[in-house]
Chains A and B, each alone.
Chain A
Amino acid sequence: MLLTRRATLRILGAGFGVVGMADGLRAAAGTTPHFAAKAKRVIFLYLNGGVSHVDTFDHKPALAKFDGQPMPGPKIKTDRASGGLMKSPFEFKRHGESGIEVSDIFPRVGSGIDDFLVVRSMWSESVNHLPSMLMMNTGHALRGGSRPSFGSWIVYGLGTDNRNLPGFVVLCPGTPVGASRNWSSSFLPTAFQGALIRNNAETPDKVIQNIANSTYTHDQQRRQLDLLDRLDSSFLDRVGFDPRLEANLESMETAFRMQTEAPGIFDLAKEPEHVRARYGDGEFGRGCLMALRLAEAGVRVVQVYYGDGQPWDSHDDILTQKAHAQRSDAPIAALVEDLKLRGMLDETLVIVGSEFGRTPMIQNSGTEKVGRGRDHNPPGYSILLAGGGIRGGQTYGSTDDFGYKAAENPVTPHDLHATALHLLGMDHTKLTYRYSGRDFRLTDIHGTVVSDWIA
């Protein structure tokens, strides 16, 4: 069957257009959910470095009771040398109707806690940042290699609602560990990879590469595009009908529209002052507000990294978690509030999390000097979920008495991925892509949809 020009344009659905080899065509064509979706899009706020669950969302009174004493049971082999249990320096308080306990370093998330599901029984295997981040972001802790990211799979499955913007946008003011591997499309067509935008860039025109022309005016460029259209039409006349070439022509117009429209979406000055003020003027706050605007504009997946490197990695001093919480509490709360105010929370799944938690034991080793830190803790940690069909105002699962290991209802990043895809209307066992002789999935051979999370 001949592809008509219209049909070709329809499969440009991946955002930033995919008209490529057969794979790209097949992939972009798969834009129908498997069943009715609750969520349309995902915003993933990534607090890179490792949030200390026992100092934030998983209160463990036993740590105060046994402060300084060794954790019962056999000596746990942590990544770095550690000592006895350490009580949290922060106070916990019950919030909202749900009465969920949150520490006082997250006061605003605390007051909005009835919108959140607090998952306290996440666990993962690898003790290092890179593999754990890749597990959280790609479902595979592959050292050195790469797998398609969570966001890439979603855009591969669902396409995007705005062809003038990428379907998957990554906001990061620097580079997290693993860099582009965290948002790579790997063996999926490249059109599905996350478009990295450095949200510490000074001006909106710096956020998308090649989005602005330094030399020519809008009118000059318009005339240049008209010329290009004539060149291409003339070429098309010479070679005869070719659907791919037609799509190519169309993508030029899209590019031009993008150039006009995209910078506006990244321009936070377009939000009223009272909205901006609630996010603060930190990088993460700006990232969260940008995520809101991108979600409004129809971007399917937005991931916001808290900062460059691994800021939450509090090996030496747990008090640094407080400093980072001060920079993220208001933006997280404001984003969820604004999604609600704008009627988008129901269809936007918000995930707040990191690659692992931190040990209940003190870390008394290392190159820095406070000696009141916590080491990496993959066996048990917490994440927050909100919106997009999530049942808020509840907790799910628990860790043991000290917060070391997921005890009741343990869940993995695979389960998170499976549930997120489910909320988006996709069966994680059916969202597959054939590569190197087999069908790959985001969840590999794992993953269970956690129905208790779903409203």
Chain B
Amino acid sequence: MTRLAAAVLIAACSLSGADTRFFETKVRPLLAAKCFACHTQSQMSGLRLDSLEGVLQGGSRGPAVVPGDPASSLLLTAVRRERDDLKMPPTEPLGSDEIAILEEWIAGGATWPNADPAVSASPKLSAEAREFWAFKPVQRPEVPGGEANGAIDAFLTARMQDEGLEPAPPADKHRLIRRATLGLLGLPPTPEEVASFLADKSPQAYPRLIDRLLESPQYGERMARRWLDLARYADGQSAAYVDTPLPNAWRYRDWVVDAFNRDLPYDRFVLAQLAADLLPEKERETNLAALGFHALRDRDDDRVEVTGRAFLGLTIGCAQCHDHKFDPIPQTDYYALQGVFDSTEAYHHPLAPDKQVEEYESAQKKVQDQKLAIDLFLEKERGQLIDVLMEQTAEFLEASYQVVRGNAQSSRVADEADLDHQTLERWIAYLDSRPHDHPYLDDWYALLDRDCSLEEVREEAAEFEQVLLDIHRDKLAVDDRNYVKLGGSEGSRTQRTLLNTNLDFLEPVRYYLWRDMATAPRKKRGLPFAGGVYYYSPTEIERFLSGVWIRHLENQRVELKRLEAQVPPPYPFVHAYREGDDPKDARLAIRGDKKNLGPSVPRRFLSVLTRGEPEPFANGSGRLELARAIASPENPLTARVFVNRLWQWRFGRGLVSTASNFGQLGERATHPELLDWLAAEFVESGWSIKALDRAIVQSDAYRRSSKILAVNQEVDADNKLHWRFSPVQRLDAETLRDSMLAVSGQLDLARGGVPRAFEEGHFRRALYGKVDRTNPDPFMALFDFPDAKSHGAARDATVGPLQRLYFINNPFVMEQSRALAQRLSDDAGTVTEARIGRAYDLLFGRPPTASEIAFASAYLESDGWEQYCQALLASSEFLTIR
């Protein structure tokens, strides 16, 4: 046994709880804050201070620490700054209290626990922690009074009776069809649909309506948008100013729409989004786009959090820096899952044969090469032109003198001197634009301020030209030196190299003169520069070219066109991910500090959702095992969380009102047995979302009126017990837009495909608008569309004057008002009452009252139909679901 190994053993054996606490609370944080910057991976002087081995081994000067012997420990010598050649940390001495901590630690034997007990790899969760309702298995409860008359209502009625609440009466049929159609499709019912529903007097009318809605392709669109909130879906990656496009993100969106429409069982839905690439072949190819759930987000540190919240209703993200404060989720659980995602890599999965991909890539490369060749040619010519013009400087100065002093026409002077017209104009403007950032023209101006001879002017011009040529020569020499420093043309074009290389420069004032002659215009940073006198852009340069040169350029451009024409259309691909080459465990970041890493944590599932000790995942990253553990009928959360979401989508609030947090800090279920019954039923039905939805919307609870009953209001004003249908206050952003377009007759129901921003002027469903992370659509943001940078568990529904201003002034609303007015006259002819009736049918699904007809008619005597229609679109009745 080596001395080192023995010392490690001794130090590790002498561990007491107090020592460990002292190390973890005092020593390790101190080392992390003051020493780790240089003495971990970078190993300055060969020294690592992040492990006992490193400390004992020491660096080039020998061991840093001798346990039990502070006097012989170089670490202390260094921090006490006792030796001139060894003062650490170099810039900022430690305080005496900090030095005392290190001294005490070394004197006490330099205890270095292998792992923080708080972050032990296999945490023991107390039995009590597992007893929390959400972690207990789902048990199908008895339905009060039997299942015959609808289990949902049986549970709800039992609670209402307990509390002495009286159910509100059933809603009117016209309100019911409006509620269900807006709820399930996100669109208002057409007058024809309302009429046929009202005409159907059979008890089957409502179930038939629901069947029709569930089979409508718009059902999947509506459901998908809800799900996309949870998945923080967007069509681009957020960046400093504008999104970096994700050109195929929409394939994920369309996959979700399709999954809801074909009623893909929820367990398969979950599996596909987490691990489609690892499914059996026949499922893999058709579901690969599902990986967009995570692949559309470039941050790798929100995947655990979003997986937890979306599928499990658990805030695992809270355990990133420490054990979860409230739920039985140790910090190791976070890193056990992080390891899975760290072992996964994002990539573009082509939806085209290899040959097509290669053809595209190689054709693209040819185009890029050709562009580069043209650029290089023009750049060279641009440089040469500057050289030439620089040599004509004295002539330009003299010519400008003649123009300004002699009141001569600049084009005539230029012709006579055989100078370029535009450049002379620029010189005249430049000389007029004092002050300059350099002194080199001071003599020139001084000369012109007094009476001077042409001889003197020529002399001064020639002198200035000499100075300029001198500077220009120096500049070229500086550029040459920098070219070498940067490693040639490759490095000169690489931002990274440019920023990491110490370069040569002209003296600033000399540079300013050179800049004023030779550099490109710029607009940025609030200080615009109009461009150098001799600077011509690559397109401007052409007029100076002739003969072979211009022919060469033309040929090159013809070739570029030819190559561009040969580029096939971009091949389609899916934003996907796959297993990384070398799956490995993540190291726990102590207090979330990525510079202070603790032990690695084996990749495995959450402790509290596993019976006994969780086994490490065995296959690859473990992602498929993770997905299976989530999409399992045994998982107590997965089904509960989803049935609760669907309940939230239908009633505006879940049985658990914190839909993405089923932990201690979440709310408790108002009807825990109903929640469990729904979850059990959901799993037993083969995870069918449509069957679940049908059961919910066919309940009496969903069909109740929204009327407020004063007697109930005292007991349950929030309607937590579902004695009435609580209206979702305001239509959400996309339903609002879609509804306006639907009633104005402008809605384009085309499905799927590439998204387009609303400002491009399309009238497709809002689902197909572009979701931008950096610059969200102002309309959608105004109506509480969630921030697509994080998981959106629920929508706000704020109502305020800004939204009202939108309705009274926005051009889109005014455009829809015009279209609606036109539609009324097309559909209902010239009779005012008929048009008003049609408007009420379209917007509200009911006929107007006599008084409504009366005040509308009165209004229409002074104002137009468009204004009337606009008021209807802004009205509360149109904007709310009741």
Contact = CB atoms under 8 A, between A and B. Distances in A.
Given A215-B814, A240-B707, A254-B801, A224 B787 contact: no
Nearest to B855: A230
Interface residues of B, number: 102
A129 B787 CA distance: 22
B495 to A, nearest CB: 7
Interface string B483-503: 000000000000100111111
A80 interface: yes
Interface stretch (A182-190, A287-295, A415-423): A182-190
A252 B801 CA distance: 6
A363 B721 CA distance: 67
A432 to B, nearest CB: 12
Contact of B241 (A177, A213, A372): A177
A216 to B, nearest CB: 7
B706 A239 contact: yes
B799 A177 contact: no
Given A248-B799, A251-B801, A437-B663, A20 B729 contact: yes
B524 interface: yes
A179 B658 CA distance: 30
Interface string B32-52: 000000100000000000000
B654 to A, nearest CB: 13
Contact of B796 (A23, A163, A306): A23
B875 A143 contact: no
A438 interface: yes
A17 B708 CA distance: 24
Given A177-B240, A308-B526, A437-B665, A2 B789 contact: no
B261 interface: no
A184 B799 CA distance: 18
B118 interface: no
Nearest to B302: A145
Interface string B341-369: 00000000000000000000000000000
Nearest to A284: B526
Given A18-B798, A19-B798, A190-B798, A210 B525 contact: no
Contact of B800 (A2, A191, A365, A370): A191
A52 B741 CA distance: 53
B704 interface: no
B809 A213 contact: yes
Given A74-B90, A145-B789, A239-B707, A365 B871 contact: no
A79 B876 contact: no
B375 interface: no
Nearest to A324: B526
A228 interface: yes
A214 interface: yes
B503 to A, nearest CB: 6
B129 to A, nearest CB: 16
**For the complex, would chain A's binding face be called helix, strand, loop or mixed by DSSP majority?**
loop
A245 B876 contact: yes
A254 B787 CA distance: 27
Contact of B298 (A23, A144, A232): A144
Given A239-B706, A251-B799, A437-B661, A234 B238 contact: no
A220 interface: yes
Contact of B717 (A1, A230, A234, A327): A1
B805 to A, nearest CB: 4
Given A21-B729, A231-B875, A311-B527, A221 B808 contact: yes
B451 to A, nearest CB: 35
Contacts of A74: 38, 90-91
B719 to A, nearest CB: 12
A228 B877 CA distance: 11
Interface string A16-28: 1111110110000
Chain A: interface size category: 35 or more
B500 A365 contact: yes
Given A232-B875, A239-B706, A311-B527, A191 B798 contact: yes
B370 interface: no
Nearest to B791: A436
Given A2-B717, A215-B814, A235-B876, A251 B90 contact: no
Contacts of A370: 505, 508, 511-512, 515
B796 A24 contact: yes
A321 to B, nearest CB: 11
Nearest to A28: B798
A80 B500 contact: yes
Interface string B779-821: 0011010010110011111111111111011110010000000
Contacts of B855: 227, 230
B801 A438 contact: no
B519 A369 contact: yes
Contacts of A317: 508
Contact of B797 (A21, A164, A223): A21
A288 B809 CA distance: 28
A120 B399 CA distance: 54
A391 B463 CA distance: 58
Interface in A342-389: 364-367, 369-372
Contacts of A224: 808, 863, 867, 870-871
Contacts of B863: 220, 223-224, 227
A169 to B, nearest CB: 12
A65 interface: no
B325 interface: yes
A180 B776 contact: yes
A240 B708 contact: yes
B707 A320 contact: no
A175 interface: yes
Interface in A215-257: 215-216, 220-221, 223-225, 227-228, 230-232, 234-236, 239-242, 244-245, 247-249, 251-252, 254-256
Contacts of A23: 796
A210 B810 contact: yes
B305 to A, nearest CB: 8
A81 B499 contact: yes
Contacts of B527: 311, 320, 323-324
Contacts of B437: 319
B862 interface: yes
A37 interface: no
Given A145-B302, A234-B851, A251 B871 contact: no
A212 interface: yes
B693 to A, nearest CB: 23
B318 interface: yes
Nearest to B664: A437
A309 interface: yes
B882 interface: yes
Given A365-B501, A437-B326, A235 B808 contact: no
B775 interface: yes
A83 B505 CA distance: 12
A94 interface: no
A81 B799 contact: no
Contact of A20 (B240, B500, B796, B810): B796
Given A177-B241, A228-B875, A255-B801, 17 more contacts: A24-B796, A166-B802, A186-B790, A191-B800, A213-B808, A234-B852, A235-B875, A248-B799, A254-B801, A255-B802, A259-B808, A369-B511, A400-B91, A437-B318, A437-B658, A437-B661, A438-B325
14 contacts: A12-B800, A14-B800, A17-B799, A21-B798, A179-B240, A227-B859, A227-B867, A235-B876, A240-B708, A251-B803, A254-B800, A254-B801, A370-B511, A372-B508
Interface of A: 1-2, 12, 14, 16-21, 23-24, 49, 73-74, 79-83, 129-130, 143-146, 163-164, 166, 175, 177-181, 184, 186-187, 189-191, 195, 208-216, 220-221, 223-225, 227-228, 230-232, 234-236, 239-242, 244-245, 247-249, 251-252, 254-256, 258-259, 306-311, 313, 317, 319-320, 323-324, 327, 364-367, 369-372, 400, 405, 434, 436-438
User: What are the 5 closest A-B residue pairs judged by CB atoms, nearest first?
Assistant: A371-B505, A17-B800, A437-B315, A255-B804, A20-B798
